[in-house]
Every structure is written in C-alpha cells, then in structure tokens.
Structure 1
C-alpha cells in the first residue's frame, strides 16, 4: 500500500503513523502536512519536521491540560507521542537527538495515561539484575473490579516501544471486551536498549517467564486465561515463549516471524546463499555499499547493530540464523493464531503456511489482502479489521 513516498522506508513509516488514527494516536491532516515538508530519502528533514509537529501538538496538549480539558489533552498527548516516536525513527543510535525525542515520546504517552478513563498501573518486572518496564491496563467493566479477568500480554519486536503497542495491539478494543492487558519491553527494545544497552536474545522464554511470574497472584489477573500477542518480530518472541511455558493459553503471531534469517533473505534468496559462503570482508563491503545507496538498507543495518549488539554485516548474518522456531515450533501446543499480509515486505507469505504446519497445537492462519487494505506488515492499513479478527479469536479460545 503506497501512501505518499516512492521510497519504501519513508512510505511504510508514514503508514505506520497514520494507522494509529484508529485509536487517537494520529490525525491524517497532521500526518500529511508533516510529510509534505519532507523530500524522499532526507532523513534530516524527517526528524526535523516530525519533531516540529510533535512539539506543536504537545503544546496544544499542555494548554488543554492547564485549562482542565482532560479529554482534549489526552488526545493531543497521544498524538504527540506518535510524532516524537516517528521523529526518532531514522536517527543513528548515537545521535544526541535520539534520546530526547524518545523521552518526550514516552512522557507524552504517560501524560495521556493520567487522563484515561480506565485504571493503568506502571510495572517494573524483576528480570536478572534489573527490571523490565511495562504497563497494566484494567477494563472499567461492571461487576467485581478485583475479580479475575482474562489477560493479554502484548510484546513488540525489532523497533517498537511498549507505548506504541497501545495502538498496535488495540488496547482500547481489548479493554472494551473485558480483557486486562499488559504491555512491556524486553532486551533489544525501548528503555532496556536505550537506557541500559541490553541487546536482543533469541531465548525469549527467559524474558516472558519473569513477566508471567510477576502477574501470578496479582489482583484481577486470571492466569488461567492468558493470551500472548507478539507484534512484528514479536511474532518470533511470543511463539518462542509459548514453546517453553505452558502457562500461555493462546498465542498470536502478529505478524508471523518464525525464521528471521529466511525472512531477511526472501527478496534475494540466491544472493543470500552466496553471501553466506563469502569471506566476512566481502560481506561487510557489500553491506557498506548498500548503506550508502539506500535509506532502508542504512536503517536496517544501523538498527540491527544496535538491537543485536553486533558491529559487522557478517556478524549479523550469523546472529540472524539463531532466531528460528523451526526446531521448537512442534513444542507449541496451545491454540495459535498466525496473522499474515499478502503484501508484507518484511516476511514472505510462504513462511506463514510453513510455520502453521510446524505447530503441534490447533492453528489458525488468517491472510489479509490488498483489497481489504490490510495486506501490509502488521496490517497497518486496517487495524480495526485485524484487531477484530484477533480479539474475536481470543474470545473463542480464552
């Protein structure tokens, strides 16, 4: 789905911001007047213009808050969060502007949470020698507020923030259906990556496990009806956890990402096989050339170095091969929903069917189409449709 830019990287990130209109995380007019000021491929203008819009909307939010107009303030803070996050996106990991943009994004989101109609609790989950940050949202439903509620734990992937998952996982929709919902960040994501330098790890059962431990015995959480939703690269993390933790009653790969190396090599499989045999120096030189000629290649390499804690393309090749569910998918026995888009430019559709066939438990595959406006990665063109399918399915299994 092309929105505005010819280049895929800028266009998809525009669609990503625009998609959050569904839950008040953006407004089309604000998105389009911002992108109209940006030339394709100009990452400096991308940061400057999105930050300009974010600052303007945040000022509007603050004025509304000072005047006691909490509903107006809440909406503007949510939009400012999205625009600051988008401004940060293409900055290098060591760019001094990156951390402030991230912090403003997070603070705007939290300012909006203070004005929500439903209870929200900030979480600090014990993990190894630190804590993982997260949020627990409870439905404002009639009846016993302390009674056990089916719970959805949602996690992101390669570049998402816990705050962004409010829109991407459809928290308002989950709450309206009576679910408690948890959003959190692990190593290689959000605050753990930015503030502590904690890089990604393939064995995410050791990340999800402490989160589930933290929820056990907590007021209002029914751990007997527990769903796990993994978004984007979280479509690897969540099923990986489900393969090793039988507390997970249902798992959703949204989108599927069961073999990261094969997904990354899908556009040029012959070239990928060749590169796997070449000396490291040749692989690194080819990657450097790609970074000089393509915004998307430059961002992918820069973010991969940061997220995975590697420095060279050759190292990255070897690291990506460790992120595969091929040998453990048969351990997944809980009901599994696999979501896929026919236009997904990150993960080939063929891998969705393959993953479905590997899972031992009952599996449902839903392929979204171009015609539905949901064919892109994570259905960022029709989140209302995707979330309807996702939560209808969870209603049935939980």
Structure 2
C-alpha cells in the first residue's frame, strides 16, 4: 500500500501516522498536507514539517480548551501528540531537538487524557532500581453497582516494540475499543522504549519475562484487574516480547502477537541468506564500514542503524550477535496459554513465512490470522485497517475469556 513516498520507510511511517485516525489520533488531510512538503529521504524536512503541523494543531487544542470546547480540544491534543511523535521519529538519538519534541508528545497526550470521559491513571511500575511509566485505563467506575463492592475486569497489557512509546499504544492497540468491550488496559514503556530509553538510558533486553513479571506483580495490587484473565498484547517487536513473557509466567491467560516476531535474525536475513552469511563472517570493521556506506544511500538503512545503536547499545558488527538473542525458537514450546498470531502478507519488516514456524512451535492452542492486501491490512501491524485488526483481536479475546 503506497501512500505518498517511493521510499518504503518514509511511506510506512506516513501510513503509521495516518492510521491513528481510527481513534481520533490523526486526520488524513493534515498528514497528506504535511508530507507534500517533504522530499524523498529528507530527514530534516520530515522533522520540520511534522513539527510545524504538530505545533499548529496543539495551538488549536489550546484555543478550544480556553473556549471550553472539550471535545474539539481532546481531538486536537491527540492529533498533536501523534504528529510530535512522528516529528521526533527520525531524529538521531543525540539530536538536541529529540527530547523536547518527545516531551511535547507526552504533554499533549496527557492533556487529551484529562478530557476523556473515562478516568485514566498515570502509574509508575516498580522495576529493578527504578520504575516504568504507564497508564491504567478502567472501563467504568469500580463501584458501578453502587453496593460498595469493587468490580474487576479482564485486563489487556499492551507491550510496544522496537520504536514505539507507551502513549502511541493507546491507538495502536485499540484501548478505546477494549474499554468499550469491558476490558481494563495497562500500557507502559519498558527498557529500550519511551521514557526509560530517553530519560534513563535503559537499553532493550531479550528476557522480557523479567520486565513483564514486575508488571503482573503491579496488577495483583489492582482490585479492578481480574488476575485470572490477563492477556498480553504485543505490537510489532512486542510480538516477540509478549510470547517470551508468556513462556515464563503462568499468570498470562492469553497472548496476542500483533504482528508475529518469531526470530529477528531470520527476519533480517530472509530472502538474502547468502549476503547475511557473508556479513555474519566478515570482520567487525568491515561490517561497520559497509553499514555506514549503505546508510548514506538508503533512508531505511540509515534509520535502522541509528535506532539499533540507540535501543540495543551496539554497533552494526555487534548487532549480529544481539539480534540472535531475540528468538522464540527455544522457548515457544513453553507457551501453553491460548495464542493469537497476526500477520500481513505485505509486511516489509517481518516476513510472512516466519509466522507459520511460530504457530507450529507453540505448545498451547493457537489461532492464526493472515491479513491480505485487498483488506488494506496487509502491512506490518495491519496499519491501514486497524478497525479490522482490533475486531479480530478483541473478538478472539471475548471468545477466550467468556465464561472464565
């Protein structure tokens, strides 16, 4: 699905921003008007134009709020958040504009949350010697029966991936849909993501059972979370994190890989195995030189090299070893809870064949849904048709949790 750019990376990030229109996080016209002023592979232009749009929409939100037009303000704050997030996306990790732009994305998101009818709680989840920031959503007042007893809800824990932030998961994971169906939701930033990466320098780690464990401990203290009905919903590389955690913690009642992310090395080498084998055995200095050379001509390669260095804390040579640690091959047979695997036939990041290996390796019951081009959902994480994807996810969860 081509939106505007010839370059796959720029075009996909445009589709990503536009897709959140499903939940009021974008307007297609604003997005298309923004990218119209950005040249192919123009990283500086990308920041400038998206930041300009974000600033303008944020001002619309503030003006509406001053006039007590809450719905207009809420929508504009949500859109401004998404546009600030998109503006920040391609900046180098040490760019002095990155952190202030990220903070604006959080501020506008939180301003929008304050205007929702459903109360939202900002939370800090104890994790090792720090905390992980997140948001706790409950579909209705706990004492909704008026009898003094608190009601608990089946809970969806949303996990991001390689380049997401917790706030984005509100749209990507369909929190509004989950709330309408009676699910409570927890979204948070883990190591290698959002605030922990930007503010504390916490890098990604492959053993996400060590991350999700404290999150589930935190939920045990929430009286409005039903601890017998907890689902992990992992988006993008969260499609690795969620199954990895489910393999190591029997408190997980259901797992959704949205999309699948079975094995990072296999995904990166797919279709170019001979080249991958050569790179795998080349001296580190040669690998780093080749990666730097490729980044000069390929915007996607440039971004992946920069983001990998930031998230994993490695150069291109060391990345060969690092990505091999992100594999479910040795743990999938320990996943016994019901698992839903989503895949797109046009996914340019995670090859479709790997999803079949994934579902075959899982010990518990599995459901596979492959989205087709004609459905407008064939891309990574079904961006382009989130309504269809979220319908599949929450229908499946309804069936799994009914009567439990």
> Following TM superposition, by how much is the alpha carbon of 1:108 offset from its aligned partner in structure 2, in angstroms?
0.2
Question: 1:267 and 1:19 mapped to 2: Cα distance?
Answer: 28
Aligned ranges 1:60-209 → 2 under 5 Å: 60-140=60-140, 143=145, 146-209=150-213
Question: 2:274 and 2:153 mapped to 1: Cα distance?
Answer: 49
**Alignment of 1:279 onto 2:283:** yes
* Residue equivalent to 1:58: 58
- List alignment gaps of at least 5 residues for structure 2: none
Question: 2:129 and 2:326 mapped to 1: Cα distance?
Answer: 24
Question: 2:203 and 2:269 mapped to 1: Cα distance?
Answer: 22
Question: 2:111 and 2:268 mapped to 1: Cα distance?
Answer: 37
> Following TM superposition, by how much is the alpha carbon of 1:291 offset from its aligned partner in structure 2, in angstroms?
0.8
Alignment partner of 2:227 out of 223, 230, 247: 223
Alignment partner of 1:344 out of 330, 347, 365: 347
* Residue equivalent to 1:258: 262
> Following TM superposition, by how much is the alpha carbon of 1:143 offset from its aligned partner in structure 2, in angstroms?
4.0
> Following TM superposition, by how much is the alpha carbon of 1:258 offset from its aligned partner in structure 2, in angstroms?
1.3
Question: 2:345 and 2:192 mapped to 1: Cα distance?
Answer: 28
Question: 1:315 and 1:276 mapped to 2: Cα distance?
Answer: 10
> Following TM superposition, by how much is the alpha carbon of 1:244 offset from its aligned partner in structure 2, in angstroms?
0.3
* Residue equivalent to 2:337: 334
1:179-231 deviation line (CA, Å, top 9, x unaligned): 00000111000000000000000000000000000010312110101100000
1:132-178 deviation line (CA, Å, top 9, x unaligned): 00000010376468301000000100000100000000011000000
Q: 1:104 to 1:36 in 2, by over 3 A?
A: same
Question: 1:281 and 1:34 mapped to 2: Cα distance?
Answer: 39
* Residue equivalent to 1:10: 10
Question: 1:265 and 1:320 mapped to 2: Cα distance?
Answer: 11
* Residue equivalent to 1:382: 385
Q: How many residues are aligned here?
A: 397
* Residue equivalent to 1:38: 38
* Residue equivalent to 2:320: 317
Q: SS at 1:136's partner residue?
A: strand
- List alignment gaps of at least 5 residues for structure 1: none
Q: SS at 1:199's partner residue?
A: coil
Superposed CA RMSD:
1.0
Question: 1:26 and 1:266 mapped to 2: Cα distance?
Answer: 33
> Following TM superposition, by how much is the alpha carbon of 1:67 offset from its aligned partner in structure 2, in angstroms?
1.1
> Following TM superposition, by how much is the alpha carbon of 1:274 offset from its aligned partner in structure 2, in angstroms?
1.4
1:24-61 deviation line (CA, Å, top 9, x unaligned): 00001100110111111101000000000000000000
Question: 2:207 and 2:221 mapped to 1: Cα distance?
Answer: 25
Deviating 4+ runs (over 3 angstroms) = 141-145
1:269-320 deviation line (CA, Å, top 9, x unaligned): 211111111111211111111111111000000000000011x211011100
Question: 2:223 and 2:271 mapped to 1: Cα distance?
Answer: 48
TM-score (norm 2): 0.97
Which is further off, 280-289 or 140-149?
Answer: 140-149
> Following TM superposition, by how much is the alpha carbon of 1:119 offset from its aligned partner in structure 2, in angstroms?
1.5
> Following TM superposition, by how much is the alpha carbon of 1:323 offset from its aligned partner in structure 2, in angstroms?
0.7
Question: 2:111 and 2:150 mapped to 1: Cα distance?
Answer: 25
> Following TM superposition, by how much is the alpha carbon of 1:103 offset from its aligned partner in structure 2, in angstroms?
0.3
> Following TM superposition, by how much is the alpha carbon of 1:352 offset from its aligned partner in structure 2, in angstroms?
0.2
Which is further off, 280-289 or 367-376?
Answer: 280-289
